[in-house]
Amino acid sequence: MLHKNAARRAALICAAVTLGLAIPATAAHAAPTASAAAASSTQNLTPPKPVSGLLASESEDGIWIHWDENYANPWDRFPTVDKNVKSFELYRADDNGEPFKHIATLPGESGDRGFVDAEIKRNRYAVYYVTTVDIAGNESEASDTATGTPMMRITRETPDTPQGLKAKNVSGAVELSWTTDPYGTLPSKYLVYRYDKGRLNPTLVFETDATTYSDSRDLKPGASYTYRVVGVNAKGEEGNRSAPVQVTIPQS
């Protein structure tokens, strides 16, 4: 008997589907399909609005990119946080003609409305825009762009210590290279000192505004030489000398 009832129920469902009729609840009481469940839940496909008032301000640390903050009241000290915003995505294009690239993600719940781009080089300008991403993953259109240039640091003290001094022998000459913090206190020039064996005081072998130097002056095969580099400001004041580096000239 149960078998016959099941067969009758299946036949009723098939007939209803064929004729385009509604299926009675007593005939189809199974759980809804995945497609029906998805259709019943409406997904938010509307992208959020982009940020407004984007600015790129000069800063000694780089370029400060910031935009309008939303305050619930004029006297509020902290901006309101939109819980529907997942993140803010920051994009940059350098002045060398490269396309925009994503450089940072700012969490929406943090309430932050700014970012310091410390990677942009001095004497270069950059163009920025920001998009908003909501919790559903929708990304807004690009905001208006903003252009900024890092502030030139004014030398108020002795230059930073040169870092990473390296030396290698190339065809009887010593190739030197070092680095410096582009956002630190920069020198107006570098002095390259060489310490010869048996001499108490070092010899100033070169002055340069670059971060490389090739020394071939009076080098003797088989001898070892030690080098240090120091930055000098516009007043002629030296900073701290770099860590020493030693190289040996091979025998001919």
CA distance 104 to 130: 10
Position 122 confidence tier, pLDDT thresholds 50, 70, 90: low
**Per DSSP, which regions of the chain are E strands?**
55-59, 62-66, 85-94, 101-107, 114-117, 126-134, 146-148, 163-170, 173-179, 189-196, 203-208, 212-215, 224-232, 245-248
Q: What is the pLDDT of residue 32?
A: 44
- Tell me: pLDDT of 149 over 90: no
**Which two three-digit tokens encode residue 144?**
């208006």
- Stretch among 3-7, 58-62, 103-107, 217-221 having the lowest mean pLDDT: 3-7
- The tens digit of pLDDT for each residue in 188-201 reads 999 999 988 767 67
If one compares 248 and 153, the residue with the highest pLDDT of the two is 248
Domain boundaries, the chain: 2-40, 55-148, 163-248
pLDDT digits (tens, 9 = 90+) for 72-107: 555 555 555 677 888 899 999 987 677 899 998 888
pLDDT > 90? residue 14: no
At residue 7, φ and ψ (nearest 5 deg) are -65, -40
Return the residue matching tokens 């294009």.
93
Q: Which CATH architecture has domain 163-248?
A: Sandwich (2.60)
CATH number of the structural domain 55-148: 2.60.40.10
Each residue's pLDDT tens digit, 214-242: 998 888 888 889 999 999 988 888 888 99
Q: Of residues 249 and 200, which shows the higher confidence score? A: 249
**55-148 and 163-248 in the same fold:** yes
